Amino acid sequence: MHVVVAGSSGFIGSALVPALRGHGHTVRLLVRRPVQRADEIRWDPAEGRLDPDDLAGVDAVVDLAGVNAASRPLTPARKREVVASRVDSAGLLARTLAAETGVGAGGRPRILLQASGIGAYGDRGDDVLDEQEPIGDTFFAGVVRQWEAATAPAADAGVRVALLRTGIVLGPSGGALGRLLPLVRLGVGGRLGSGRQLWPWITLVDEVRAIEHLLTTPVHGPVNLVTRADRNVDVIRALADAFGRPAAVPVPAWALRTVLGDFSSEVLGSIGAVPAVLAASGFRPVHADLPSAARWVASGV
C-alpha cells in the first residue's frame, strides 16, 4: 500500500514508519519544514496548506499529529494549542482526501486512520467501556469530540475513517511512561493516587501492529486501541517486578492535581476500556497480559 503518515517523528510514528516499510508498504511523511528527501511532503495544518496532488494515488493516511499534552502545563493558551494541533491536522487531511477521487492507486477505497484518545470516555469508575459508550465531559473528552468530528468530510465522501482511541502506550522510552519509568527503575515508583483507577494499556509493539492491521481490515468509526484495563497499582507493580525493584513510594492525588492540573484527570481517572471492535476484527495482541508487557518494557530499557 501507499501510505502517508503525519506525526511520524513522535513516539508511535517513529515505530510505525519502519514497521510499515519493513512489511513492504511505500511510506511518505508529512513535514512542516522544507522537504529534504523524496519521501517527504510539506504541509502546514495551521495555515490549511496541503497540495491535493501530493495525496493523489495514496491508499491510506495515518494521522498521528498533535502536540504532546503532557509536556507543558495546560494553561488556557496551551489548551487551545492542544485542540488546534489536532483539529487543524485532522480537518485538513479529511478535506483533502474528500476532494480527491475516493480511491487509491489500486482502485481501493481510501482510508484515514485518525489518532484519537481513550480519554474520550472520561472518568467512569469500574464501568466496562466499549466503542458504543458516549463521549464524556472532561477537557480531554472534549478534545476528542472536536478531533474526531474534524474527520467528517472524509467519511461523508466515502473514505473509510477509523478513529484510533489509543490507551496508555507502554514502551521502553517516551510515551506515557517517559517520566515514570526512571522512577520505577530506581525503585522509587509507586501507585498514583488511590491506585485503584483503571488504566487501559497497550504495548508499543501492539499499537503499531494494530494500526497496520486496521489498514487492511474493513473497520470504521471508533476503535479502542487497548489490550486491557488494569488497576494503576497493578500496572506499577508489574513494571517494578520486571525491573526487580520495589514499588513502595505512592504519589498522593492532591500532589498530582497540583503538579499536573487538568492533565491529572488522565492519570487519576478510571477508564475501563475494552478492545471490542479490535478483537472482533480478528486482532490478537503479542503482549496480552501485564507480566509479559512489563517484561518487554524492561528488556528494552
Number of domain units in the chain: 1
For residue 254, being part of any structural domain is answered with no
For residues 242 and 236, what is the distance between their CA atoms, to the nearest angstrom? 10
Instruction: Give every strand in the sheet of 40-42, ordered side by side.
Output: 40-42, 26-31, 2-6, 60-63, 111-117, 160-166, 221-225
Domain harbouring 96, CATH code: 3.40.50.720
For residue 197, being part of any structural domain is answered with no
For residue 238, being part of any structural domain is answered with no
Q: Would you give per-residue pLDDT tens digits along the chain (301 residues)? A: 999 999 999 999 999 999 999 999 999 999 999 999 999 999 999 999 999 999 988 999 999 999 888 777 778 899 999 999 999 999 999 999 998 755 554 555 699 999 999 999 999 999 999 999 999 999 999 999 999 999 999 999 999 999 999 999 999 887 777 778 888 888 877 888 888 999 999 999 999 999 999 999 999 999 999 999 999 999 999 999 999 998 878 787 877 676 666 667 678 889 999 999 999 999 999 999 999 999 999 998 5
Burial class (CB in 10 A: 0-12, 13-18, 19+), 94: buried
For residue 295, being part of any structural domain is answered with no
Instruction: Compute how many other C-beta atoms are within 10 angstroms of the C-beta atom of residue 286.
Output: 12
For residue 298, being part of any structural domain is answered with no
The strand pair at 272-273 and 128-129 is best described as parallel
For residue 188, being part of any structural domain is answered with no
For residue 170, being part of any structural domain is answered with yes
Q: Residue 111 belongs to what domain range?
A: 2-175+202-226+273-284
Site of grid cell 491506585: 195
Cell digits of residue 123: 472518568
